[in-house]
Amino acid sequence: MSIWKQIKIGEIGDVIGGGTPSTNNDLYYGEDIPWITPRDLSGYQSMYISKGARGITKLGLMNSSARILPKGTVLFSSRAPIGYVAIAENEVTTNQGFKSIVCDEKIANNKFIYYSLLFNKEKIESVASGSTFKEISGNVLKNLEILLPDIKAQEEIAEILSSLDDKIELNRKINANLEKMASALFKKWFVDFEFPDKDGKPYKTSGGQMVISELGEIPNSWSILSLKDFFPIITGKKDANVATQHGQYPFFSCSQGVLHTDEYSFDSSSILLSGNGDFNVKWYEGKFDAYQRTYVLTPKNKLFLGFLFYAIKYFLDDITAGHRGSVIRFITKGMIEDFKIAVPSDLVLKNMATFFYENNQTIDFHKREIDSLSQIRDSLLPRLMNGKIRVKIK
């Protein structure tokens, strides 16, 4: 039986802060050394991180309090906000918004500490201080106690949780590749008009006949249709106050955040387009609800769902180009309805759309598996971290 004990974080390894080179000196910033800020972890879903949006130079490192952190270091954001966690995939540096832990491998497994920090996030936040914004100091974090079993049990627990995260990450990568491939094919077929001709060759470059239309040159026999020809466009009916963090059904807001509700107004295969803000676009199949400024686009023919999703994604800047509002940008229903695209004959379009639909079905399967695995991981995390579930040591 593994023995669990309370231990201070400062006893499991070195707690190291970061730094920021002067932003007034361009010589301090470059691609030499990866440099991570809390913003780099905002919305970040992987356990490991190799670099941030910016890097620093060796000169920048020398002229700041940033330090080189070894591969495997557990990065913990200590302010703005508190509680982002990742593991360094290689040597990195951070800004001062981190208190990073270089674990003593004889005492602490870095993946176990990663999960422990996620589990103890609220506890850590409760001891933070500061009037402008909350921050956890290095000394406070060093003296914070966590529950720790022996190293072998840590490894077993980390393996259980990370195996779930590994599968989640694999599904995300597969989906990213599928979406990238579909986006590339949409451009090739519907923008560059290089879809396979009757001989399997790229249509336009193989001499396919083109004609002049209101959108410019398009293939002969193609036509111009408005988005309203494919679906009715309606808006969600609910105010944001119906959303919760725990609910049976997704609730889609303009920010496309992960919210839920106990009610649903839609049970369909739909594309969701934010009516204001960043004009996010996504698709969903099943029961859901939507904010009153989110447009719900449900194709008359479900088969066209994937094709229309990639069409709206590709032409999103054009669809929203005439947005209104100076403080908060917004678009009207008419801007979506009247947007025109070039499409082939019904039979050819259905054949092309079948690819996009089946591609999206595969992506949807992976997303649902991600949701299921995430729920299992989140239910196991507190019980494994507080010792309520004991693992068998191999």
At 186-232, the pLDDT tens digits run: 999 999 999 999 899 999 999 999 999 999 999 999 999 999 999 99
pLDDT-wise least confident of 8-22, 230-244, 310-324: 230-244
Is 58 in contact with 83 (CB distance < 8 Å)? Answer: no
Q: Which of 65, 72, 77, 69 is nearest to 33 (CA)?
A: 69
Give the residue-averaged pLDDT of 316-341.
90
- pLDDT beyond 70 at 245: no
Q: Residue 199's pLDDT is what?
A: 92
101 in any annotated domain: yes
One domain, residues 98 and 230 = no
CA-to-CA distance for 85 and 78, rounded, in angstroms?
10
More confident residue, 74 or 134: 74
- pLDDT beyond 60 at 256: no
Q: What is the Cβ-side half-sphere exposure of residue 48, based on CA atoms within 13 angstroms?
A: 12
One domain, residues 144 and 232 = no
108 in any annotated domain: yes
Q: Which of 119, 113, 112, 71 is nearest to 91 (CA)?
A: 71
One domain, residues 14 and 130 = yes
199 in any annotated domain: no
249 in any annotated domain: yes
68 in any annotated domain: yes
Return all residues near 234 (Cβ < 8 A) that are at least 6 apart: 295, 296, 298
One domain, residues 132 and 236 = no
Sign of CA dihedral 194, 197, 200, 203: negative
Residue type, 166: D
Q: What share of the chain in percent tops pLDDT 90?
A: 76
Q: Among the three residues 90, 118, 148, which one is the final residue of a domain in this structure?
A: 148
**What is the band of 131 on the pLDDT scale with cuts at 50, 70, 90?**
confident
Number of domains in the chain: 2
CA-to-CA distance for 22 and 354, rounded, in angstroms?
54
pLDDT digit string, tens, across residues 6-31: 999 999 999 999 999 999 999 999 98
Q: Note the pTM of the prediction, 2 decimals.
A: 0.86
Q: Which of 85, 168, 77, 81 is nearest to 119 (CA)?
A: 85
- pLDDT beyond 80 at 244: no
Q: Residue 8's pLDDT is what?
A: 97
Q: Among the three residues 105, 123, 148, which one is the final residue of a domain in this structure?
A: 148
Q: Among the three residues 297, 326, 343, which one is the final residue of a domain in this structure?
A: 343
Cβ count near 139 (within 10 Å): 11
13 in any annotated domain: yes
Give the residue-averaged pLDDT of 332-347.
92
CA-to-CA distance for 293 and 258, rounded, in angstroms?
16
The structure tokens listed for 291 are 């904010």
Q: Which of 141, 78, 73 is nearest to 111 (CA)?
A: 73
Look-up of token digits 């620093």: 56
One domain, residues 247 and 336 = yes
203 in any annotated domain: no
One domain, residues 143 and 230 = no
Give the residue-averaged pLDDT of 40-65.
96
One domain, residues 136 and 235 = no
3-state SS, the chain, equals CCCCEEEEHHHCEEEECCCCCCCCCHHHEEEEEEEECHHHHCCCCCCEECCCCEEECHHHHHCCCCCCECCCCEEEEEECCEEEEEEECCCEEECCCECEEEECCCCCCHHHHHHHHHHCHHHHHHCCECCCCCECCHHHHHHCEEEECCHHHHHHHHHHHHHHHHHHHHHHHHHHHHHHHHHHHHHHHHHCCCCECCCCCECCCCCCCEEEECCEEEECCCEEEEHHHCCCEEECCECHHHCECCCCEEEECCCCCCEEECCCCEEEEEEEEECECCCCEEEEEEEEEEECCEEEECCCCHHHHHHHHHHHHHCHHHHCCCCECCCCCECCHHHHHCCEEEECCHHHHHHHHHHHHHHHHHHHHHHHHHHHHHHHHHHHHHHHHCCCCCCCCC
Q: Residue 210's pLDDT is what?
A: 96
338: CATH: 3.90.220.20
Is 117 in contact with 85 (CB distance < 8 Å)? Answer: yes
- pLDDT beyond 70 at 393: no
One domain, residues 231 and 330 = yes
Domain residues for 263?
Answer: 223-343
192 in any annotated domain: no
Q: Edge to edge, what strands does the sheet with 82-88 contain? A: 13-16, 100-103, 74-78, 82-88, 48-49
